Amino acid sequence: MTARIGWFFVIVGSVLLIIFFASDLAKETKYQYLCLGMVGVVMGLILWNKGRPASPPSGRFSTVRKMRESGKGARRPKTHDNPPPQE
């Protein structure tokens, strides 16, 4: 439901932006339309994005991920047999 409300705000914000550009061409610029249009578009995109279902995780790099997980317990801690030369 929030996705539909988001699209409504995007459409209303877009119409307000078109009215702003028309008022700018008529040399009677109304910045209220610009502000309200931008707020409407941004708020609409946020609501639209929140309403979308999460995408399933992709299987990319699954082999690398498995290798890293299996190798975590088998790692040896680093030891410094030769200390760095002191000057």
Domain locations in the chain as residue ranges = 2-51
Enclosing H/E stretch for 5:
helix 2-25
User: Is the pLDDT at 64 greater than 60, yes or no?
Assistant: yes
Asked if residues 13 and 39 have their Cβ atoms less than 8 Å apart, the reply is yes
| Closest-CA residue to 32 (of 16, 47, 46) | 16
Q: 26 pLDDT band (50/70/90 cuts)? A: very high
- Please report, as a single letter, which amino acid is at residue 72: K
Prediction pTM value: 0.60
Q: 35 pLDDT band (50/70/90 cuts)? A: very high
> For the CA atoms of 49, 52, 56, 61, what is the dihedral angle to 10 degrees?
-10
Give one word for 28, left, alpha or beta, with left for phi > 0 and alpha for psi -120 to 50: beta
86's tokens: 């002191």
